[in-house]
Structure formats: C-alpha cells, structure tokens
Structure 1
Amino acid sequence: MHIVIVDSSRVILKVVAGMLEPRGHIVSAFTDSAEALAYVTDNPRVRALITSLEVRPLAGLELCWSARLLAEASRPLSIIVMSSVRNARNLAEALDSGADDFIDKPPGAEELQARLRAAERLTSLQSELIRLAETDPLTGLLNRRAFLQRTREAAERARSFGQLSAMILDIDHFKRINDEHGHDVGDAAIKAVSALIAEEGIAGRLGGEEFAVVLPGKSLSEAEALANRLRLKAADLRVRGARAPVRLTCSLGVSEWSEGETVEGLLKRADIALYEAKTSGRNRVVSAMTDLVLSRTG
C-alpha cells in the first residue's frame, strides 16, 4: 500500500517509515503538510494518509478535512491521525474532520500494522463500491454519470494545458440485429464494440448501443483519424450468431472543445455530427467542425 506520513519531526517520520517499509509498503514522508496534500492530490495511488495534529502550514485537522474532500471525489483513501495527546476532544475533532482512525504517537509497531490492515480492508471496499457505481455492467466501460464527471475534469485541465476532442458512436441498424438474431447477439455486439474503444481516452457507454470517447490532448484532425480507424475495425468485427457470424458497422460524430464551451456543448456537437453520419448513409465519420465525411471506403 502507498502511504503518506506527515509529521514535523524527521525522527518520527524515520521511525514510522522503518515500521512500514520492511512490510512492503511504499512510504512518502513530509514535514510540510501543504506539500503532503499536493502530493496526495497528484498521486491517486496513495491509499493511506497518516498525519500528526501538530503539523504546519496546514494544521492536522485542516489536512484531514482537505484529504477527505479528495476521497469524496470517488477515490479510496484512509486517513489516520496520530497524536501524543490522546483525549476525547482530540479524538472527536479528528473524526469530525474526516479521519478514519486515531493512534498514539509514536505508534507501536503491532498496533500500527493492525490499523493499516483495517485501512486496507476499508480502501478495498471503497474501491469496489466506486467500481460498481462508475462502471457499466455489460461492457466494463464508464457509465454515463462517471463518463460525464471524468469529461468535466478533462475539460478543466484542457483550459490550462491544451486540446480536447470527443467522439460519439453507435452501432448501425442495432434494432435489426436484436430483432433478427436475438438480444444475446445484440449484447455481444455491444461488448465487441466497447472492446475497440476501451483503451482510447476516456471511454463510456451512454446507453443502449451508443458510446462516447473523450480524447485529452488530441486535436480535431487526430480525433477524426482515430474515429475512422475505429470505424474500419468495427466493420471487420464478426459476432457469433446462431447460424452464421453477424457483421456490423458504426457511425461516428467528432467535435473539438473550445475555450469557454461546456462539456455538454462539446458532446452535443458530436451528437449532431453523429446524427448527420446516420442520416447521410451510416458507416462513416462526420466532424462537427468541418463537416468532413469519410466514406466507407476511406
């Protein structure tokens, strides 16, 4: 488990790290609580924060509160407060500020290991609950709510660092596939298409046979090129049917985010482009910006 320790004393940090590292834990130690919070923020693999109440410049309770807000943003994190002064008031304030546990300083090795085993159980449960809340059960992609949340976060980063493009795609004539071959084949088609996009940017299932991919750092032309590659791969798919393999195609709409635009606006323009792709013949890519149509032979 990746653990961050915060204390004003380098001796305490060395002692606690010495208890943890031989057990295989990754330990990052800080005397500065603001630096520790920034590190935890930037490193989502951190699973436990152990902090003294007597730290600066952020007080221990403030650090707990700020770290708890991170955890509430769909992130597993266990927070343990350690203090040389153990009383009911300190304990209550720590728990009210977002801590999960409280331990004496310096901690005993056996007690510390036991509390960390409890922390691992807690974060494992949190991870599973987050996965269930964010994942589409059929495809394993992000569900609509989680996809939109991740897209908003990507748009926030794009405001400072660069480009962001989006594509929306769906399976052509999907109702016909369901009607002629059954819902099991329809589900297999959905899973086959989802596998094509699973590793491409931020991928989600919006509902039914419709999917979306947001591509941080990609320009419109790069998104168009990727969309056409996906279109060609989809046309090569063969889904097992009762009598013979079932073929399918996909249509895709692409858009590029611009400064001041909302995430909803970005996706709406991609959706309008998708509608154009569907009404102009299917099995094609249409760009919301240039109305570029890549034919099925492109």
Structure 2
Amino acid sequence: MSFRNRLRFEHQLAALVGLLCLALVGVTVGGAVWLERRSAVRLAEARLARLASGMAETLDVTLRERFREIQVVAGLAPLRERWTSDATMVRGVLSAMRTTAPDYAWLGFVALDGRVRAGTEGMLEGLAVTGKAWFEAGLSRPNVGDVHEAVLLSRLLVRSEPEPLRLVDLAAPVRDASGQVVGVLGGHLSWDWAIRARRRLLDEGLPGTDLWVLDRRGRVILGPLLGTTPFGPARLGAMVEEGSGRFAAALGSDTLLAGFASAAKGERSEIAGGDPGLGWIVVATRPEAQALAPVQRSIQALLALGATAAVIGIALAWCLGRRAAAPLRRMTAAADRIGREAEATTLPRLDGAREFVALSASLRSLLRRIGTAERELSDATIRQTRVAAFYRRQIEDLRQVAGTDLLTGLLNRRGFARPAEEAFAQARSGCGVAVLVADIDHFKRVNDQHGHDAGDAVIRHVGALLAEAVRGSDTVARFGGEEFVVLLVGPGGTEALLTAERLCAAVRAAEIAHGGRAIPVTISIGVATVSARDADIQAAIARADAALYEAKARGRDRVSAAAEIEEVERAA
C-alpha cells in the first residue's frame, strides 16, 4: 500500500507541475504570437494610414493652390478692363498660368454669352460652353467640379499616360471695375497629376501596397477597377464620419489592411467657399498575408521554442515528483511521531536533500529577508521615480521636436500654434500684434537651376536671416515649402511695415553661396495687423496671405499691407 501511495503522489505531483508548465508555456507563447501579429498588423495599418494621409495632403495642396490661383487671377485689378477687350493679352496671361502650373490641361476666359473668348494655345476659342456645370456655377461664385472624362480636349492634347484624359474643373467669376460679372475664368486641371502622385507614393511604399481614391459615392476615380464600388454603404459612411483611420476588410478571397483619409473637403481645402467639398476618400490597402509574412518566421520560432520548453518542463516535473516523494514521506512520519513518542523531539536531517536542510535556516532568516525586501522595495521605488522623470524629460523633448521644422530649426505649423494663441490673447487685451507672411520669390526656379540641395540651402539661409532680423520676443516659423510666418508682438501697423521692408532688404542684400556659386534671392511679404474683429489668429494670417499674393501680383520683392477688417466692411 505504501509503495502504491508513493507512486500515486509522484504521479499527482508530476501531473500538477507538468500541467502548470504547459499552461505557462502555452500562455506565454500564445501571448507572444498574438502580440507579434497585432504589432505587425498595427504597424502595417499605421503605414497605410500615413500613406493615405500623404496622398490626401497632395490632392488637397494641389487643389488648394490651383483654386486660389484661379481666384487671384480672376480678381486682378489691372486686368478688369481688359478681359473683354484684349484677347491677345488674356491669352498671354493664361499661357503664363499654364507655364507656372503645367498640370492645367486648358485655361480659358468665357464671356457672358457662353463663348470662349480666349484659351491656351487658342484651343476651344469661339466654342459655346453654355450649360456646362463649371461655367454656370462660375457666373456666381468660385467652384471646383468633380473628376470627369474629357470630351473635347482628349482629341486636342497629346499625353504620355495610357489612361483616358480626365479633368477637374475650376472656375471663378470675372468682374469689371464696377463689380459686374463680365465672364468666367475656367481651368481644366488634368487628373494626370493625381496619377503621377499615386505612382510616386506606391514606388516608395512596400510591395503589394495599393492606393485608391473614391468619390463621395464610393466609386473608384483613381486606382484599379475604375468606376467600381469596393466598399459597402456602412463602411463608406464610417470613413466619411471618421475622416481618417484604419480598418481591415475582406474583399473577395483576400483580407486587406487599409488606412484612409478624407481629401478635397471644403473645410480643409477651402474649396467652393465653404461648400461641403468634393468628398474624396483616399484608401491605402495591403493584403494581410503580405503584411504578416515577415513575422511568420518569428512565430514559427516561438512555437518551436514553446514546444521544446513544454517537453523539458514535463520531464523535469516527472523527475521532481520522483525525488520529492521519498523525503516528504520520511519527514511526515518523523513529524507524526513528535508528541507521541518522548524521544521524538526533532525532525531528522535528510541526507542528500539540501532544500529540506536549508528549510530551517530559511525560516530563521525570514525576518532578515523581509527587511531586505523592504529595502529593495524602497530602492525600486526610487528607481521607478527616476525612470518616470527620465521618460517625462524624453516626452518633453519629443514634444519640442514635433514642433520644430527639421530643415531650418524654426518652429513649424504645430509649434507656431501656441505662441500664436498667446499673441492673439495679448491682442485682445489691447497689445499690438502683427502677422507677416513671407514667401521666397521664384523658388521653383532655384530648384530647377541649382538643384534641391541649393533650394534647401536657400530656405535655411532665409529662415536664419528672418530669425536674426527680428526681436527676441517675436516668433518666426516655417509653414511649409518656401513660406514663412513672422509674429510681431508690440508694434503697430506702421512699425510692422517697416520691419517687413527691413526683412525684404536683408534677404535682397544677402548672397547665398552654394556649390561655388552665389544665388540671389528675394522675398515678398504680406502684412496684417490683428484686429479685435478677428475671430482668431488664423483670420489675420489669411489676410496677410492675401496681401502676399497681392505683392506677388505687383512684381514680387516687395511688401503689401492687408486692409483692416473695418475698411473691408466699409468697402463692401
């Protein structure tokens, strides 16, 4: 019976330890595999979301620039009396616009009777466009139309893209000096720029990645399977509501990981004067199998390691049960005799069982270990406090980096937000605050003639000149590309204009050396003073930006002041 009991105890102990080992290994390996897959999926979705956001930003920037360009040219004061009288001059203006922005397939001026008075390269001149949506809408307000296939221009233009020519229509009313509408300035923006942007982003991405652009109804307007609707109404509605994000969806036999971002929205792109916008959605996709392929080897290695650990654990559990049974039974018998037999006063010293011999010593040192544990806990708390302080410093450093432009070391648009809000609050309390929007003239020419490295050197040099030329209490930020914003706290409008003139002169006098050559650079500046009527600092920046375009239109290398809100309202 004792032999059978011994075997039963050994088996129970071995089974218990073996099951515990299996459970621990299973949970550890399963958790590791799950974490590995989830990390890979999240990383892939994050990359896809960034890719979709990049494409959406490209669409937004191009549409915003072309839309603003159409409005600015349509509203130029020197052309108001010449739109209807000098077709040759108008044709030259349109050709210059197309030279500056080659993505235009066609630009033209249409009179009130609906006939094209002037067009780039004389195309479509004399043709009646009455009934065209862009012309009818352009008679009353600036507008942007959705993507559509070209009908007339497809026979007139030579293209390198294999896809059919598709266009995005832009239009703005043209008014004479009295404010009466005399026609419409229209532009057909070739959809090829979006095709090229998609191709460039895909060339830089991972294998298997694809980019789709959907219209507001969910139909594909850029990407594979043009005209199809890959997502159902529920998914499309969720993407419209969220604006940007990520998801996984089953399409056909594949599960796709996707990131999406909204593009061409009225509130983002300033399209159609506050209308809801075109409602495009950019979706970047990649098959889940391809995204998880790099981690399959890691998962297989984890599974093999887990299986090996489980086998070793079971073997060790069996050995432990065999070794533990005999000493425990002897000790149990000795303990049972204590109190029954006069000579049984102590437990025996077990030969070959160091764990049992050390048990009494362990009990005697228990209090000492408790004290040691308390000291270690205190040390751990101190270390944890130091680590927390270290991470707080790291987070603060990361926040500072996130607000800094990497090329110039100036604040970027994100970093500019806080000082701008503080300055606007000061303006509310009566302190003078002015905004300067500066733009490097003919910057594209610098890149084309000297290369992008020279362009970067010019941006850095101009940023350094602006930062050195203003006071320490002022703020200089780079908003992107070759555009800078200067925030002046304290001066009035006259002093702000003098400061802007001084900045123009400083840049004009500087010669930027790059590659053994001196690159002359000038800037144009728009100036606006923050008014109590401004809703926020962005309103003043918008007025300064409009003044910048006026300075550009007047010949560049000059300063233009934005009209005060009160003057604009009186003029209206």
TM-score, L = length of structure 1: 0.56
Separation in 2, partners of 1:128, 1:185: 30
CA shift in 2, pair 1:184/1:111, >3 Å: same
SS at match of 2:544: helix
Give the aligned partner of residue 454 of structure 2.
185
Distance in structure 2 (CA, Å) of the matches to 1:216 and 1:260 = 18
- Could you say which residue in structure 1 is the equivalent of 2:352? none
Provide the residue aligned with 1:227 in structure 2: 500
- Are the counterparts in 2 of residues 192 and 237 from structure 1 also a CA contact under 8 Å? no
Query: Which secondary structure state, in structure 1, belongs to the residue aligned with residue 532 of structure 2?
Result: coil
Matches of 1:115 and 1:285 in 2, distance apart? Answer: 56
Answering whether residue 412 of structure 2 is matched by residue 143 of structure 1, we say yes
Aligned mate of 1:165, from 434, 446, 451: 434
Deviations along 1:65-94, one digit per CA (max 9) or x if unpaired, are xxxxxxxxxxxxxxxxxxxxxxxxxxxxxx
The question of whether the paired residues in 1 share the 8 Å contact of 2:402 and 2:414 is answered with no
Task: Determine if contact 2:428/2:532 at 8 Å carries over to the other structure.
Answer: yes
Matched residue, 2:525: 252
Offset, 1:196: 1.7
2:555 paired with 1:286: no
Partner residue, 2:482 = 209
Q: Aligned with 1:240: secondary structure?
A: strand
In the TM superposition, residue 161 of structure 1 has moved relative to its aligned partner by: 4.3
Evaluate the alpha carbon distance shift between residue 111 and residue 161 of structure 1 in structure 2; reply closer, same or farther with a 3 A threshold: farther
Task: Tell me how far apart the structure 2 counterparts of residues 209 and 253 of structure 1 sit (CA, whole Å).
Answer: 14
The 3 A distance-change label for structure 1 pair 124 and 242 is same
Matched letter for residue 188 of structure 1? A
Q: Where in structure 2 are the equivalents of 1:1-298 lying within 5 Å?
A: 117-118=386-387, 120-198=389-467, 200=470, 201-261=474-534, 262-289=536-563
Q: Counterpart in 1 of 2:66?
A: none
- Which stretch shows the higher mean deviation, 111-120 or 122-131? 111-120
Paired residues, what number? Answer: 182
Deviation at 1:281, TM superposition (A): 1.1
Deviation at 1:113, TM superposition (A): 7.4
| SS of equivalent to 2:524 | strand
Q: Which amino acid aligns with 1:138?
A: L
Structure 1 regions of 5+ residues with no counterpart? 1-108, 291-298
- Whether the 8 Å CA contact 2:551–2:559 is kept in 1: the answer is yes
**Contact 1:274-1:285 within 8 A present in 2 as well:** yes
Partner secondary structure for residue 124 of structure 1: helix
Deviations 1:22-53 (A, max 9, x none): xxxxxxxxxxxxxxxxxxxxxxxxxxxxxxxx
> Aligned equivalents of 2:455 and 2:540: distance in 1?
29
Once residues 255 and 169 of structure 1 are traced to their aligned partners in structure 2, the CA distance between those partners, rounded to angstroms, is 12
2:490, 2:400 → 1: CA distance? 26
2-structure distance, mates of 1:138, 1:191: 7
Whole-Å separation in 1 of the counterparts to 2:522 and 2:446:
11
Question: Where in structure 2 are there 5+ consecutive unaligned residues?
Answer: 1-377, 565-572
* Mapped partners of 1:274, 1:254: distance in 2: 8
222-231 or 237-246, which moves further after superposition?
237-246
Q: Report if the CA contact (8 A) 2:412-2:478 is conserved.
A: yes
- Give the 3-state SS of the residue equivalent to 1:283 in structure 2: coil
Contact 2:441 2:522 in 1 (8 A): yes
Are 1:185 and 1:239, in contact at CA under 8 Å, matched by a contact in 2?
no
C-alpha offsets along residues 178-234 of structure 1, whole Å, 9 cap, x if unaligned? 000000000000000111222531211111000001112221111111111111110
User: SS at the partner of 2:408?
Assistant: coil
1:48 corresponding residue in structure 2: none
* 1:162 Cα offset (Å): 1.2
Counterpart of 1:133 in structure 2: which amino acid? A
Question: How far did residue 142 of structure 1 move?
Answer: 1.1
Aligned identity (percent) is 41
Cα-to-partner distance string for 1:216-263 (whole Å, 9 max, x where unaligned):
222111111111111111012222233521111111110101113021
The alignment's C-alpha RMSD in Å is: 2.2
Taking structure 2 as the reference length, the TM-score comes to 0.30
Tell me the amino acid that sits aligned with residue 249 of structure 1.
T
CA contact (8 A) 1:164 1:214 kept: yes
